[in-house]
A and B are shown apart, each in its own frame.
Chain A
Amino acid sequence: MELSAAWAIAKKDILIYYLKPNIIVSGALFPLFMFLAFAVGRPEAPSVMIPGLIAITILFSASSIEPVSIPIERRMKTFDRLISAPISLHAVVFGESMSGFLYSLGIAFVPLIAGIVLFGTPILHIAPLVLGLILTSFCFATMGTLFAAYPTESPGDIMSMLNLVRLPLIFVSGVFIPLNQIPAVGRFITYLSPLTYGNDLIQAAYAGTTSFSPLVDIAMLLIFILLFQFAANLLYRKFNE
């Protein structure tokens, strides 16, 4: 029952929001330009750069749907439909996150396929790639839903807060700067970033080696998903008061 209602919420978001211009810009084009700005001219091989591009694509695309859709729904009062329906807040949060998750999976295939077709980048291990795509996408989709709990009717308010977190994450999570080259002071933040573990897991598929064990990456991503899910549930309850 709860899952089917959550799926109904996700389907509704897919129909309404996937092709909204601000979501295409923030979820698909923004990560591409971010990557080009930092990657063009660097000597690394495509097999090193492609996992990073996939990771930041997921970070931006997965967390872009709810920060736009939920404030709009607050303004249109359609969000009241979701929070007054006979379903739990967990199902609402899960359903909202599912739309970001599916959007991100679709967008992540662009750099993935581009890597194979344009650069012939080999994928050494499929399992960490699949798990990395799924868990990282869901983790950041839930993070987007968490930020969207802030009670505003303006997507810009949430995007501003979200970018304060998303942009620094790129630099402390081993996407552009390898983890072993990050100063000890910044290492602590590295461990607190879910992107660190998502990027590490995707790197495992391409490089065959990881900074952490894939099991640690998987466990940490699952912990972040649960943390974001429960925090989102609490905040939506608090702000509905």
Chain B
Amino acid sequence: MFAIEALSLSKQFGHLQALSHVDFTVSEGETFGFLGPNGAGKTTTIRILTGITTPTEGTARIFGKDIVRETIAARKQIGIVHETSNIYTDLTAWQNLMFTAELYHVGKAEREKRGTELLELFGLSERRDDHTKGFSKGMKRRLTLAMGLINNPRLLFLDEPTSGLDVQSNLIIRDVIRDLNEQGVTVFLTTHNIEEANLACDRVAIINRGRIAAIDSPERLKKTIQSVQSVEVAFDAPQPVLVEDLEQIPTVSEVIKQGDKFRLITEDPPTVIDGVMAFAAARRARVISITTLGPSLEDVFIRLTGLDIRTKGVKTVD
């Protein structure tokens, strides 16, 4: 049985077609990334999958339960971590957890046991009885995640879980996601952090303008755009090195300055390396570091959303 089945989901708001025949499935135990630029339809998809809004066309099932006709049965299986840390700041951490547990029909003994475990897991035990108004952004985010797990869900929706967090909270949350996955919990992750999706997800879907542009594993997606290889180089030069100068090197299609380094996009890295060494010698500059890079998931994302190019071998949906 699939954890999620989205079957030709469409959603129209007046004249705006927010989603257009979105199809995908997520297997039980899978970590599935859902990527897309702002306004692509990510939030609308989550709102449909969690039963907050109904699709104009199509159906969605959560562990076989139709989210429109069997909303409550479907929702009992899921935990939701919303994009905003939507906790009650006038309540304590413990009261927030217990309230959420009551909404999810978790019995008293079970919710108290689970609440204690989750506060421990997220490093919030010492702040259990403090009002959350004074919590840091990271603490609020960790509590939001704990609230999403209070009912021991089989499927967890995570909307931008680590956006703008401190290092400690980031690490805790990433560890928890990995542990959940090992325990067989299905994770549906939306994020702007493409590297996070690359590291955490078994498969990712890229949505653009309400349509699924591609669905595959991160590595397979990257292989589809081998033309986007690059050489990353840093110089120690007596004169400043300009982007325009590096663009003159043969086979370089684009130069991106990244801090003290330059990224030279090319289809032919060996030729570019030769060109860089010749350029350095002519300028009496030293090459401090030079690395060849394959395409990143971000490159795939930019290709599919920004440039709107369909690539061979990717399961695309028109």
Would you call A114 an interface residue if the criterion is a C-beta within 8 Å of the partner chain's C-beta atoms? no
Checking B53, B84, B90, B103 against A5 with a beta-carbon cut-off of 8 angstroms, the contacting residue is B103
Q: A4-B102, A8-B102, A16-B91 are in contact. Are A84 and B86 (CB under 8 A)?
A: no
CA distance A15 to B91 in the complex (A): 8
Contacts from A to B (Cβ < 8 Å) = 1, 4-5, 7-9, 11-12, 15-16, 76-78, 80-88, 240-241
Would you call B52 an interface residue if the criterion is a C-beta within 8 Å of the partner chain's C-beta atoms? yes
Q: Is B75 touching A85 in the complex (CB atoms < 8 A)?
A: yes
Chain A residues with CB under 8 Å of B73's CB are 86
CA distance A16 to B99 in the complex (A): 12
Chain A residues with CB under 8 Å of B80's CB are 84
Would you call B122 an interface residue if the criterion is a C-beta within 8 Å of the partner chain's C-beta atoms? no
What's the least CB distance linking B308 to chain A, in Å?
29
Q: Is B53 touching A16 in the complex (CB atoms < 8 A)?
A: no
Contacts from B to A (Cβ < 8 Å) = 13, 50-54, 71-73, 75-76, 80, 82, 84, 86-91, 95, 99-100, 102-105, 147
Q: Is A88 touching B103 in the complex (CB atoms < 8 A)?
A: no
Q: Is A15 touching B52 in the complex (CB atoms < 8 A)?
A: no
Which 3 pairs between the two chains have the least Cβ-Cβ distance?
Answer: A8-B102, A86-B75, A77-B86
CA distance A82 to B75 in the complex (A): 12
Q: Is A80 touching B82 in the complex (CB atoms < 8 A)?
A: yes
CA distance A84 to B151 in the complex (A): 13
Q: Is A76 touching B105 in the complex (CB atoms < 8 A)?
A: no
What's the least CB distance linking B157 to chain A, in Å?
9
CA distance A84 to B95 in the complex (A): 19
Chain A residues with CB under 8 Å of B84's CB are 76-77
Chain B residues with CB under 8 Å of A83's CB are 52
Q: A4-B105, A5-B102, A16-B90 are in contact. Are A80 and B52 (CB under 8 A)?
A: yes
Chain B residues with CB under 8 Å of A81's CB are 82, 86, 100, 103, 147
Q: Is A84 touching B88 in the complex (CB atoms < 8 A)?
A: no
Known A7-B102, A76-B89, A78-B87; 18 more pairs at CB < 8 Å = A1-B105, A4-B102, A5-B103, A8-B103, A12-B91, A15-B95, A16-B88, A16-B90, A77-B84, A78-B88, A81-B82, A82-B103, A84-B51, A84-B75, A85-B103, A88-B72, A241-B13, A241-B54
Chain A residues with CB under 8 Å of B147's CB are 81
Chain A, residue nearest B77 (CB): A86
Chain B residues with CB under 8 Å of A88's CB are 72
CA distance A78 to B87 in the complex (A): 6
CA distance A88 to B76 in the complex (A): 12
CA distance A1 to B52 in the complex (A): 20
Q: Is B105 touching A86 in the complex (CB atoms < 8 A)?
A: yes
Chain B, residue nearest A12 (CB): B99
Q: Is B90 touching A15 in the complex (CB atoms < 8 A)?
A: yes
Q: A76-B86, A77-B82, A78-B88 are in contact. Are A84 and B50 (CB under 8 A)?
A: yes
CA distance A82 to B53 in the complex (A): 13
Checking A8, A87, A241 against B72 with a beta-carbon cut-off of 8 angstroms, the contacting residue is A87
CA distance A1 to B217 in the complex (A): 41
Chain A residues with CB under 8 Å of B87's CB are 78
Chain B residues with CB under 8 Å of A1's CB are 105
What's the least CB distance linking A132 to chain B, in Å?
31
Chain B, residue nearest A241 (CB): B53
28 contacts between A and B (CB under 8 A): A1-B105, A4-B102, A4-B105, A5-B102, A7-B102, A8-B102, A8-B103, A9-B103, A15-B90, A76-B88, A76-B89, A77-B86, A78-B88, A80-B82, A80-B86, A81-B86, A81-B100, A81-B103, A83-B52, A84-B50, A84-B51, A84-B80, A85-B75, A86-B71, A86-B76, A87-B103, A88-B72, A240-B52
